[in-house]
Structure 1
Amino acid sequence: MTNQFRLSALTVACLYAAAFTPLVYADDSATISDTTPTTKNNSIQTLPSIVITATPSITSTLTVPNTAQAIANIQRIPGAVEVVPDIVFKAGPAQTIKDVLGWVPGVFAQSRFGDDARVSIRGSGLSRNYGNRGINMSMDGIPINTSDGLVDLFEIDPTAYRYVEVFKGANAMRYGANSLGGAINYVTPTGHNASRFDGRVDAGSFGYIKAQASTGAVNGPYDYFITGSGQQFDGYREHSDGDQQRLSGNVGYQFSPDAETRFYLNANRIRQHLPGEVTKDAALNNPESADPYFVLVDQQRNIDSVRLANKTTMRFGPTTVDFGVFGVRRHVMHPIYQWLDYTVLDRGGFVRAVDDRLIKGFRNELVTGLNLHNGTIDNKQYENLPGAVKGELAASNVDKSENASAYIENSFYLQPDLALIAGTQFLHAERKRTDRFLSNGNQSGSRDFDLWSPKVGVLWDINPDWQVFGNISRSAEIPTFDANSFTSPASTNVDAQTATTYEMGTRGKLANLSWEASIYQAQLKKELQCITTSPYSLCSVVNADRTVHQGIEAALNMPVLDSLMKQGDRLWCNLAYTYNDFFFDGDSTYGDNELPGVPPHFIRAELLYKHPGGFYAGPNTEWVPKGYFADNANQVMVDHYTLLNLKAGYEAANANWSAYVEGRNLSDKRYIANVAIAGTADATAALFNPGAGRAVYSGVRFKW
């Protein structure tokens, strides 16, 4: 019996058991105590939350919905969206974005090294292997992306959040997001739903250790929450060690039951060495090695950042208005092929109004808003000498981005359970570069973009616990500054990527079975591709002609056996499946080749035993049953793989402590986690990032 067969059998066993299990209600050890608004007789009623379960949330605030309310709000969107509660990612070693989003179908998240990871939703930023593009990311609504659209993931601290909102595709108008990937918003607790003390320590393989603590409370009209964490690791690969310190907090003041303001602070210190991509042979046969040149010049990515923001919410009868401002300062010290030293200064504001009322007996919800996000990047590049020593100045410029988006969306309920939704977003963006280093020619330039993104959809509550939806939407994405570099006509003329997406799906629960499923097709024009030509320089960004991204996203959660050893215990089955069918559509160079960079099938499956006393244990697997290509020419392929993991822990509802132990890749499988993308590659191309080997982690958490 092959290793692949043994591990994939876990998926089959989970499905087989599910097919023959009597239906009972969903996991009673992890339900939401809040209720979800829906519509009956053209008025707002309540029903048990569907699809996602979570630990009970306490009092909400005007400025920050609790977990249950966030789920209720997001399920008014006629598209694939999800709220990930903290129980999903805090019961284990939450180090990277994969630990947060790894069970969300449609999201392909893979660690590169250390804290860095690559994330793609529906093929967004598919060819990008440094930084991320095509997804608007926010912390408490404060953009993490720089104003030109590029985003790093080093500043995300999974142990800091109450829940995470995922808006796939053009379902994220409220965040000014109309890109192919959509938006992700990480939401921290407030004093209303935080413990007076919550602390944890995690440790494990490759020198990993992390400590985190938080506190929060309410005092009359005031509340506060603050959390801090520090971690360090040697890394699985040579020259992939790092350390991070992160701080987040907020203070709220309630003027009245209908008016509240909240101030946010987020600060980060990131230090990370970079091992670089290697050949496929090196990745599979010597996976702990780094690229020797990366070690010689001591490539690193170091970040110091501070974010400040305010959000105020006011309620006027059926109308709620949110408005706020934010500012970000990020200093990046980044010795790579050159010694990049740049300072990002971003600022912006937003206003959003939601009016939910009856019009001639019919419910109508109107959402309008405006987002501003402007910024400058003061960039200096030096020669990078061995040992990460700054050499002579090689480039100096100031990049300026201005973005203004306005949106409107209306949901009209033809019946209490049937809504028609229509909306649009307009984005005006400007990109301007001022070159201050003229010895190699003046590379100044500017571009303007004006883009409309309309959307229509339908949302039908078949019954109080079951929804179906469909939509047609247009998305657009503007090139980042490393694409519009203005160094040549080719780079200056990189255009915006646009897509028209057709989507339909369902989410709900039926007795014990909870599910979500969607099918979509996105027809892209001028897809932005980040083509690697050398491992020692930035990629070259080009527009493809026509491409298609289509697929299926599905998740299933249900108990398969009850009362195995004790009354009330259960064996749970969790499944997440993503099908990616991405290809060129009659391209003049690549014909109908597959788009590289992501596997066609990505499956995660888990069987988890839960004892009513708080003990849980079980295996899970990550399965890529078919390989995928690393280049547009489809000449070099990443092999299929399966990983076997096992976890056990204790977390009782009435206990003030919890603990876990988790083993990952227990068979020590050598595999490729992700790749850089080339136009045409061969076996000698250094495009590959090996996945981590066998690892064991454990942690303990106290709260009261």
Structure 2
Amino acid sequence: MQTKPIPFLAVRRRAETLMPRLALLLLGTSAILSLLAPPARSQTAIPPVTVTADRAEPAGAMTVPDAEDARTRIEKTAGGVDIVPAEEMRDGRASTVKDVLDYVPGVFAQSKYGQEDSRLSIRGSGLSRSFHLRGTRILRDGVPITDADGAGDTMEIDPLAVDYTEVYKGANALQYGASLLGGAVNFVSPTGRSQPGFLLRQEFGSFDTLRSQFGAGGAIDNFDYYVTPTYSHSSGFRDHTDQDYTRLNGNVGYRFGDGAETRFFLSAANINQKIPNSLTRSQALASPSWTTPQSFTGNTKRNIEAIRGASKTTFLTDSGEISVGFFAASKTLFHPLSSPSFSTVVDNEEINGGGFGRWTGETELAGHRNEMALGINYFTGVNQARSYTNAGGSRGSLTADADQISNTFEIYGENAFYVIPEVALIAGLQGTMAQRELQDKFLSNGNQSFDRGYNSINPKIGTRWDFAPRQQAFVNLSWSAEPPPFSELGTTATTTALEQQEARTLEIGARGRGSDLAWDAAVYRAWLQNELQTIQPASGAAVQQNVDGTIHQGIELGGDWVFGRDLAATGDNAMLRLAYTYSDFYFDGHPTYGNNDIPGAPKHYLRAALRYSHASGWYAGPNVEWVPRGYYVDNANSAKTPAYALLGARAGYDFGNGLTLFVDGRNLLDRTYISNVGTTTTANANSTLYNPGDGRAVYFGAELHW
């Protein structure tokens, strides 16, 4: 029997009351901060960005640096980082986080089915999570998308509404105060200054795929704006994977003279996604498009409604650059689940919010150049988490009701002292105070309330050597800590006693950029204590545990090489793009699993693309995704996925008048493979851990700028 729907819970009512007040607070605070900015400088024009003057006024938006300025800043990091410009993925299908991050070494991003629930792991972060993500902070324009407890989704991110993406691996995400094994990924929005004019884009193709985008941006005196709504539909490769996504992203900026700028961001998403169950290995390989009957009888799906607002103000002083901001978000999740052994409806209403401040400056210390950064973050959130029995995809009887309250305070600082102009010694320190409190309101099965606190201090030391123009070598040693989110803490006495995951990581690498070659290489080793591991038994719900003494180590190689110019005509070229990741994650003398591999990721993962570009505007070339050895799905190392190699190809034409056309072929040989897995202690033939990847698909698109 279905209980009475509750469309406006207390959290939602609080959100509706809070959001207008918060908007007024953001506006007023930003205006006050802007008034505190120093008097306008004497220059009459905005000078260009230079690599030697961090406080130079950017030609574009101050609050959202353009991609080149962002690259100059990020390459000051003594560690693994990357920038992915939008044009690298807009020449083909661009619908998932995997499409964005495919060619970033060290990142393992795989879609579970369609756009829904993309898996994201950096250097083995959240490795056992086949749903949602943890261990990596997801941001938009420097504002967290991940929830206050550290868990999150990538579904709210629309790749078509991104100008470029910053990837900070591990403790190299200190720029945003994050100290996590996976680091941070920051998706940066276009502004009216970086993307003026209008845009129309249309994609269509296999599995009834249809994606539409409109964009408009411009600058009027001190104001600029950008707005882009998008719509996406697909029937999906697998049965019961229909999806409809409607998203809106936009921002408005105002420049106060030439020394300060305020920007307001708004994003909204309405996501309706039917989801299939995971399969056994034999089912997944024999009938990859199939799903279990329970997916239909339980009407399994994942529907999200989300709205997020943020404000960021940046202003320049004689001592450096200051950025402050606030954000608030409201999200509802309706998530029926059903399998042969598990059936429930997850029904959440959530509010997250917080603020941040950051100062960067450059001084002279003992006659040497010295760069400094200081910052604070505060995140808070309340999730009204209810569960019901699954009555054909609707709410049955109530089985759980709790408020999940998260508070996280971070303070951090970093200093780079240049012993000589080409060599910087870098030291950083980050401190975290985190609280996880659960207030149980469903007491018929006992009071499961708890209140846990997690504190950590995480140092970082390193050096960066600029041994040639745009070429660097680096080494760093860093500490990180990850408090468990509520999805790990659960409500049992065992899970609520979970300790935070801690790691110590040593990293050595180098990178460089020239006219024909850009390359990036890093080697790292991380020693983990209390690694958080989610285990999916052969039957029943997932359980969580700490695993003591594990090792994550690997090699990351990436680059672009233009190896031929003027091959068949003046102005043409051929380019090879490569991203290779070697991941060696294992237990270190575990009493049960010895030195077994930690399940969930391949040891070798290669993405490569070859492209020929003609001066007249057309381009074409093949690409490959290769996992030469399958990877284990259980701690006992008794079952693994098969190896696979996928062949793709892209081609397109740029008419030179703002119109471009493309065709993007995926898995052209129609190989059956496993794209995503759950993990368990010991797998058997009946373990439903496997999710097949999409079969052969071809997508067409057109994009018009004017």
Partner of 2:528: 524
Q: Hey, what does 1:409 align to over in structure 2?
A: 414
Q: Structure 1 residue 465: deviation in Å?
A: 2.3
Q: Deviations over 1:198-251 (max 9, x none)?
A: 110001101110000110111111111111100110000001111000001111
- CA shift at 1:626, angstroms? 1.1
Decide whether the 8 Å contact of 1:36 with 1:72 is kept in 2: no
**What corresponds to 2:262 in structure 1?**
261
Partner of 1:591: 594
Q: What residue number does 1:620 align with? A: 623
Counterpart residue number, 1:569: 572
Which residue of 547, 551, 556 maps to 1:553?
556
SS in structure 1 at match of 2:215 = strand
Give the aligned partner of residue 664 of structure 1: 666
CA contact (8 A) 2:61 2:194 kept: no
SS at match of 1:112: coil
Q: Could you say if the C-alpha distance between residues 425 and 571 of structure 1 is closer, same or farther in structure 2, counting changes exceeding 3 Å? A: same
* CA–CA separation in structure 2 for the residues paired with 1:586 and 1:35: 55
d(CA) in 2 for partners of 1:372, 1:44: 26
CA distance in 1, matches of 2:637, 2:313: 51
Q: Does 1:144 align with 2:148?
A: no
- d(CA) in 1 for partners of 2:268, 2:606: 35
Unpaired stretches in structure 1, ≥5 consecutive residues: 1-33, 47-57
Q: Which residue, 451, 474, 477 being the options, matches 1:469?
A: 474
The equivalent residue for 2:169 is 168
Classify the secondary structure of the residue corresponding to 2:171: coil
Q: What is the one-letter code of the residue matched to 1:272?
A: Q
Give secondary structure in 1 for the equivalent of 2:668: coil
Q: Which amino acid aligns with 1:540?
A: V
Displacement of 1:509 in angstroms is 2.8
Tell me what 2:73 maps to: 73
Q: Is the contact made by 1:512 and 1:559 (CA closer than 8 Å) also made in structure 2?
A: yes
Distance across 2 between alignment mates of 1:265 and 1:622:
35
Matched, 1:500 2:504: yes
Amino acid at match of 2:698: V
- Counterpart for residue 53 of structure 1: none
User: In structure 2, what is the Cα distance between the partners aligned to 1:44 and 1:464?
Assistant: 17
Name the aligned partner's letter for residue 290 of structure 1: T
Q: 2:645 aligns with which of 642, 645, 648?
A: 642
For normalisation by structure 1, the TM-score amounts to 0.91
Q: How does 1:54-133 map to 2 (within 5 A)?
A: 59-116=59-116, 117-133=118-134
SS of residue matched to 1:482: helix
Match of 1:348 among 347, 354, 363: 354
Distance 1:35 1:253, change over 3 A: closer
Q: Per-residue deviation at 1:361?
A: 2.7
How many Å separate the matches in 2 of 1:44 and 1:125? Answer: 35
One-letter amino acid of the counterpart of residue 284, structure 1: L
Percentage of matched positions with identical amino acids: 42
Could you tell me how far 1:511 is from its partner in structure 2? 5.1
- Going from structure 1 to structure 2, the CA distance change for 1:385 and 1:44 (only over 3 Å counts) comes to closer
1:515 aligns with 2:519: yes
> What is the Cα deviation at residue 534 of structure 1?
4.7
Residue matched to 1:19: none
Matches within 5 A, 1:107-256: 107-116=107-116, 117-256=118-257
The residue type equivalent to 1:502 in the other structure is L
Q: Distance in 2 between matches of 1:308 and 1:606?
A: 38
- Measured in 1, the distance between the counterparts of 2:260 and 2:186 equals 23
The answer to whether the 8 A contact 1:108-1:119 is kept is yes
Q: Which amino acid aligns with 1:648?
A: A
Secondary structure, counterpart of 1:174 in structure 2: helix
Instruction: Judge conservation of contact 1:468–1:506 (CA < 8 Å) in 2.
Output: yes
What is the letter of the counterpart of residue 605 of structure 1? A
Partners of 2:59 and 2:205 in 1: CA distance = 36
From 358, 361, 374, the counterpart of 2:364: 358
- Letter in structure 2 aligned against 1:113: Y
By how many angstroms is 1:342 displaced? 1.0
Distance (whole Å) between structure 1 residues aligned to residue 595 and residue 365 of structure 2: 50
Displacement of 1:38: 4.3
Instruction: Pick closer, same or farther for the CA change 1:44–1:219 going to 2, 3 Å.
Output: closer
Say whether the 8 Å CA contact 2:516–2:563 is kept in structure 1.
Answer: no
Q: Deviations over 1:113-159 (max 9, x none)?
A: 12121110000000000111111001112211111111112111000
SS in 2 for 1:295: helix
Equivalence for 1:694: 696
**Cα distance, 1:45 vs structure 2:** 12
Aligned in 2, Cα 1:631/1:36: closer, same or farther, shift over 3 Å? farther
One-letter amino acid of the counterpart of residue 314, structure 1: F
Separation (CA, whole Å) in 2 of partners of 1:223 and 1:567: 39
Q: Give 1:193 shift.
A: 1.2
Q: Which amino acid aligns with 2:531?
A: E
State the 1:359 CA deviation.
2.8
Task: Compute the displacement of 1:379 (Å).
Answer: 1.2
- Given that 1:362 and 1:413 are in contact with CA atoms closer than 8 Å, whether structure 2 keeps it comes out as yes
- The secondary structure found in structure 2 opposite 1:629 is coil
Give the letter aligned to residue 363 of structure 1.
R
Between the aligned partners of 2:537 and 2:177, the Cα distance in structure 1 is 33
Alignment of 1:319-330 (within 5 A): 319-330=320-331
**Per-residue CA shift, 1:643-677, capped at 9, x if unaligned?**
0001100135x421111001110110001111100
Partners of 2:321 and 2:176 lie apart in 1 by 17
Aligned residues: 653
**Superposed displacement of residue 561, structure 1:** 2.5
Provide the residue aligned with 2:12 in structure 1. none
- CA–CA separation in structure 2 for the residues paired with 1:559 and 1:259: 40
Displacement after TM superposition at 1:37 (Å): 4.6
Does residue 376 of the first structure (1) align with residue 382 of the second (2)?
Answer: yes
Give SS of 1:681's match: coil
Q: Distance in 2 between matches of 1:389 and 1:699?
A: 37
CA contact (8 A) 1:198 1:701 kept: yes
Report the equivalent of 2:26: none
| Structure 2 unaligned blocks of 5 or more | 1-46, 338-342
Deviation at 1:291, TM superposition (A): 2.3
Q: 1:307–1:329: 8 Å Cα contact kept in structure 2?
A: yes
Q: Report the CA distance shift for 1:99/1:433 in structure 2 as closer, same or farther (over 3 A).
A: same
Q: How far apart in 1 are the matches of 2:72 and 2:616?
A: 30
Partner of residue 580, structure 1: 583
2:439 pairs, out of 411, 431, 434, with 434
- Post-superposition CA distance 1:268-320 (Å, at most 9, x none): 00000110210111111100001222222011110000101100011102411
Indicate if the aligned counterparts of 1:276 and 1:290 stay in contact, CA closer than 8 A: yes
Please name the residue that 2:16 is paired with.
none
How far off is 1:257 after superposition? 0.8
Aligned to 2:112, the other structure's residue is in SS state strand
Determine the structure 1 residue equivalent to 2:17: none
1:28 paired residue number: none
Secondary structure (helix, strand or coil) at the match of 2:589 reads: coil
Q: What's the RMSD between the two structures over aligned residues?
A: 1.5
SS in 2 for 1:646: strand
Please identify, of 479-488 and 217-226, the stretch whose mean Cα deviation from structure 2 is larger.
479-488
2:314 equivalent to 1:310: no
Residues in 2 aligned to 1:671 and 1:283: alpha-carbon distance in whole angstroms:
8
The answer on whether the counterparts of 1:197 and 1:213 sit within 8 Å (CA) in structure 2 is: yes
Q: In the aligned structure 2, how far is the partner of 1:608 from the partner of 1:536? A: 48
In structure 2, what residue type is equivalent to 1:380?
R
The TM-score normalised by the length of structure 2 is 0.91
Per-residue CA deviations over 1:358-415 (Å, capped at 9, x if unaligned) read 23431111100000000100111111112x0211111100010000000010011111
| SS of aligned partner of 1:113 | coil
